[in-house]
Amino acid sequence: MAVYQDQYTAMVIFAQTTTQFGVENPNTINPNGTEPFNPPNPNTPNVETPTQQNGQITYSSVKKVVVGLGVVSAFKNVMNYYKNNYGDIMQDSNAQAQINEAMNIISMGASIGLGFAYGGVVGGVASIIANGVNVGLQTASYQRMIHRNNVQSEIMMARTQYASINGGR
């Protein structure tokens, strides 16, 4: 038995044990009968949440950011669901078309803005060209769809012996 005392701690050491790594751990109690003294084990890392020190990134701050991003992501997914399915939920296909067009315009504006922000004038011009090509391809695709639908309508009208789209009786 040994007694240890300094200005903050007083303890009585009854026995010493050895861990599987060969580190000695004293089996101690405080003289006043309170909780036992548990010295840190040098072979195991401290898994407690560290406190933030001098603006450094810590486990605690990263954990808060990750939880916050998870909540934001879940909220974003719910809002995207309602944005994409508004027409089905509210039975308003015209409003859904307006929402889709507004989101396309916002997306193009953001793309052009980010092009200027990150790439300067060259990046902005490249972004404008890319968006222009995208709009051109969408327009060409839409025109093909309209033509195909008109041809199908003409065929159906001919089968049912109605007048054509371009003229009447």
Q: What is the pLDDT of residue 13?
A: 56
DSSP letter string over 97-140?
HHHHHHHHHHHHHHHHHHHHHHHHHHHHHHHHHHHHHHHHHHHH
pLDDT band at 14 (very low <50, low <70, confident <90, very high): low
Lookup: tokens for 56: 């450094």
Global pTM?
0.47
Q: Which of 15, 48, 49, 18 has its CA nearest to residue 29?
A: 15
pLDDT band at 58 (very low <50, low <70, confident <90, very high): confident
